[in-house]
Amino acid sequence: MDEHDLRGLIGKVKAGRLSRRGFVQRMMAVGIAAPFAAQLLVHSGVAMAQAKDTYKPTKAGGGGPLKVLWWQGPTLLNPHFAVGTKDQDGSRLFYEPLASWDADGNLKTKLAAEIPSRENGGLSADGKSVTWKLKQNVKWHDGKPFTADDCLFNWEYAKDPATAAYTIGTYQDVMVEKVDQYTVVVKFQKPMPFWADAFVGSRGLIIPKHLFADYTGAKSRDAPTNLKPVGTGPYVFKDFKPGDMVMGTLNPNYHQANRPYFDSIEMKGGGDAVSAARAVLQTGEFDFAWNMQVEDEILSRLEKGGKGRVQVTAGGNIEFLLMNQTDPWTEVDGERASLKTKHPTLSDPEVRKAIALLVDNKSVEQHIYGRTGPATRDFLYGPERFASKANPIEFNVDKASDILEKAGWKKGADGIRAKDGKKLKFVYQTSINQPRQKTQAIIKQAAQKAGIEMELKSVTASVYFSSDVANPDTYTKFYTDLEMYTTTMTQPDPALHMLQFVSWEAASKDNKWQGRNITRWQSPECDKLYRESESELDPVKRAAMFIKMNDLAIQNHIVLGVVQRPTVSALAGKLNAQISGWDNNTSDLSDWFKEA
Amino acid sequence: MSRQYIIRKILIMIPSLLGISLVLFTILAMAPGDPFEELATNPAVPPEVRAALRAKFGLDDPVWTRYLHWLVAMIQGDWGFSFVSRMDVDKLILQRLPVTLIVIGSSQIIAMLVALPVGVLAATRPYSLFDQVANTLAFVGFSLPTFFTGLLFILVFSIQLDWLPFVYRANIDATGWQFYWEHIKQSIMPVMVLGLFQGASLVRFVRSSVLDVIKLDYVTTARSKGIGERKVITKHVVRNALIPVVTLVALQLPIVFGGAIVTEQIFRVPGIGSLLISSMLSNDTPVVMAVTFVIACLVVFFNLLADIIYGWLDPRISYR
| Cα gap A155→A194, rounded to integer Å | 18
Q: Residues A223-234: what's their mean pLDDT?
A: 92
Distance from CA of B113 to the nearest CA of A (A): 30
A536-545, A578-587, B293-302: which range is least confident on average? A536-545
Cβ <8 Å between A81 and B274: no
**With contacts defined as CB-CB under 8 Å, which chain B residues touch A285?**
165-167
Distance from CA of B292 to the nearest CA of A (A): 18
Portion of chain A with pLDDT greater than 70, in percent: 90
Q: Residue A41: its pLDDT value, please?
A: 61
Q: How far is CA A145 from CA A134, A198, B187, B213, in A?
A: 12, 21, 44, 77
Q: Tens digits of per-residue pLDDT, B1-37? A: 567 777 888 888 889 889 999 998 888 888 776 777 6
In single-letter form, the type of residue at position A422 comes to K
Helix segments in A450-558, DSSP class H: 461-464, 494-498, 524-535, 539-555
Residues 293-332 of A with CB under 8 A from B: none
| Cα gap A575→B37, rounded to integer Å | 35
| Cα gap B296→B310, rounded to integer Å | 21
DSSP-derived 3-state class of residue B264: helix
In single-letter form, the type of residue at position B125 comes to R
Cβ <8 Å between B171 and A247: yes
Nearest to B270 among A76, A244, A264 (CB): A244
Buried/exposed code over B49-80 (b: 16+ C-beta within 10 A; e: otherwise): bbbbbbeebebeeeeeebbeebeeeeeeeebb
DSSP-derived 3-state class of residue A150: helix
Q: Residue A334: its pLDDT value, please?
A: 83
First to last CA, chain A: 46
**With contacts defined as CB-CB under 8 Å, which chain B residues touch A491?**
43-44
Q: Nearest CA to A10 among A43, A35, A52, A55?
A: A43
Cβ <8 Å between A161 and B41: no
Whether residue A387 is predicted with pLDDT greater than 50 in this model: the reply is no
Q: In this structure, is the dihedral angle defined by the CA atoms of residues A136, A138, A140 and A142, taken in order, positive or negative? A: positive
A126-135, A145-154, B230-239: which range is least confident on average? B230-239
Q: Residue A384: its pLDDT value, please?
A: 36
pLDDT band at B303 (very low <50, low <70, confident <90, very high): confident
DSSP-derived 3-state class of residue A381: coil
Nearest to B39 among A83, A218, A221 (CB): A83
Nearest to A271 among B42, B53, B265 (CB): B265
CB A283 within 8 A of CB A562: no
Whether residue A161 is predicted with pLDDT greater than 70 in this model: the reply is yes
| Cα gap A419→A412, rounded to integer Å | 9
Portion of chain B with pLDDT greater than 70, in percent: 94
Q: What is the mean pLDDT of chain A?
A: 87
Q: Residue B250: its pLDDT value, please?
A: 79
Whether residue A51 is predicted with pLDDT greater than 60 in this model: the reply is no
**With contacts defined as CB-CB under 8 Å, which chain B residues touch A266?**
169, 171
Which residue of chain A comes nearest to B52, CA vs CA? Answer: A164
pLDDT band at B320 (very low <50, low <70, confident <90, very high): low
Q: Residue A386: its pLDDT value, please?
A: 33
Which residue of chain A comes nearest to B166, CA vs CA? Answer: A279
Structure-model confidence comparison of residues B126 and A91, the more confident one: A91
CB A227 within 8 A of CB A240: yes
Q: Residues A478-485: what's their mean pLDDT?
A: 94
Whether residue B293 is predicted with pLDDT greater than 60 in this model: the reply is yes
Please tell me the number of Cα atoms within 13 Å of A341 on its side-chain side: 22
Cβ <8 Å between B49 and A65: no
Cβ <8 Å between A264 and B173: yes
- The answer to whether A203 contacts chain B (CB < 8 Å) is yes
H/E element, A246: strand A245-250
CB A320 within 8 A of CB A560: yes
Q: Residue A518: its pLDDT value, please?
A: 93
Cβ <8 Å between A270 and B278: yes
Contacts of A393-397 with CB under 8 Å at 24 or more apart are A393/A361, A393/A362, A394/A356, A394/A357, A395/A357, A395/A358, A395/A359, A395/A360, A395/A361, A395/A362, A395/A363, A395/A446, A396/A357, A397/A357, A397/A358, A397/A446, A397/A449, A397/A450
Q: Tens digits of per-residue pLDDT, A332-359? A: 888 898 989 999 999 999 999 999 999 9
Greatest pairwise CA separation for chain B in angstroms: 86
CB A190 within 8 A of CB A128: yes
Please tell me the number of Cα atoms within 13 Å of B203 on its side-chain side: 28
Cβ <8 Å between A166 and B283: no
Whether residue A138 is predicted with pLDDT greater than 50 in this model: the reply is yes
| Cα gap B160→A318, rounded to integer Å | 38
Q: Tens digits of per-residue pLDDT, A9-41? A: 666 666 556 666 666 666 666 656 666 666 666
Q: Residue B185: its pLDDT value, please?
A: 86
Helix segments in B80-216, DSSP class H: 89-124, 129-143, 146-153, 176-214
| Domain edges within chain B | 17-89, 95-319
Whether residue A417 is predicted with pLDDT greater than 90 in this model: the reply is yes
Q: How far is CA A224 from CA A76, A101, A463, in A?
A: 12, 30, 34
Q: Residue A127: its pLDDT value, please?
A: 85
Helix segments in A450-517, DSSP class H: 461-464, 494-498
H/E element, A34: helix A34-43
| Cα gap A264→B250, rounded to integer Å | 43
DSSP-derived 3-state class of residue A109: strand
Q: Residue A385: its pLDDT value, please?
A: 34
A183-187, B105-109, B301-305, B309-313: which range is least confident on average? B309-313
Q: Tens digits of per-residue pLDDT, B104-151? A: 888 888 988 999 899 988 988 888 899 999 989 998 888 888 888 888
Residue A468 falls in which region: left (phi positive, over 0), alpha (psi -120 to 50) or beta? beta
Most confident of A38-47, B46-55, B172-181, B183-192: B183-192
Q: Residue A449: its pLDDT value, please?
A: 92
Give all strands of the β-sheet with A318-323 in edge-to-edge order: A453-459, A425-431, A482-487, A318-323, A559-564
Residues 482-501 of A with CB under 8 A from B: 488, 490-491, 496-497, 499
Please tell me the number of Cα atoms within 13 Å of A367 on its side-chain side: 14
- The answer to whether B32 contacts chain A (CB < 8 Å) is yes
First to last CA, chain B: 8
Q: Nearest CA to A265 among A278, A249, A277, A252?
A: A249
| Cα gap B303→A66, rounded to integer Å | 47
| Cα gap A186→A129, rounded to integer Å | 5
Crossing angle (nearest 10°) for helices B63-75 and B3-30:
140
Residues 451-480 of A with CB under 8 A from B: 462-463, 465-468, 471
Distance from CA of A595 to the nearest CA of B (A): 24
Residues 239-268 of B with CB under 8 A from A: 265-266, 268
In single-letter form, the type of residue at position B237 comes to V
A219-228, A307-316, B255-264, B270-279: which range is least confident on average? B255-264
**With contacts defined as CB-CB under 8 Å, which chain B residues touch A203?**
44
Q: Tens digits of per-residue pLDDT, A432-455? A: 888 899 999 999 999 999 999 999
Q: Residues A265-294: what's their mean pLDDT?
A: 90
Nearest to B42 among A221, A264, A490 (CB): A490
Q: Residues B300-319: what's their mean pLDDT?
A: 75
B95-319 fold? MetI-like fold (1.10.3720)
Nearest to A491 among B34, B44, B86 (CB): B44
| Cα gap B85→B93, rounded to integer Å | 12
| Cα gap A67→A247, rounded to integer Å | 10
pLDDT band at B283 (very low <50, low <70, confident <90, very high): confident
Question: Residue B35: CB partners within 8 Å, gap ≥ 6?
Answer: B57, B59, B83, B84, B282, B283, B284, B285
| Cα gap A81→A91, rounded to integer Å | 10
Q: Residue A383: its pLDDT value, please?
A: 37
Structure-model confidence comparison of residues B318 and B142, the more confident one: B142
Structure-model confidence comparison of residues A23 and A513, the more confident one: A513
**With contacts defined as CB-CB under 8 Å, which chain B residues touch A498?**
none
CB A136 within 8 A of CB A113: yes
DSSP string for residues in B203-226: HHHHHHHHHHHHTSHHHHHHHHTT
- The answer to whether A47 contacts chain B (CB < 8 Å) is no
Q: Could you tell me which residues are beta bridge partners of residue A246?
A: A240, A267
The complex's ipTM? Answer: 0.81
- The answer to whether B81 contacts chain A (CB < 8 Å) is yes
Q: Could you tell me which residues are beta bridge partners of residue A594?
A: A575
A246-250, A584-588, B86-90: which range is least confident on average? B86-90
Cβ <8 Å between A279 and B167: yes
Whether residue A252 is predicted with pLDDT greater than 90 in this model: the reply is yes
**With contacts defined as CB-CB under 8 Å, which chain A residues touch B60?**
none
CB A288 within 8 A of CB B167: no
Please tell me the number of Cα atoms within 13 Å of A10 on its side-chain side: 24
Pick the residue of A83, A219, A505 with the most B CBs within 10 A to test the interface with B by mutation: A83
Nearest to A75 among B43, B50, B84 (CB): B84
Q: Nearest CA to A320 among A2, A557, A16?
A: A557
- The answer to whether B42 contacts chain A (CB < 8 Å) is yes
User: Checking DSSP bridges between strand A264-269 and strand A245-250, what pairing results, if any?
Assistant: antiparallel
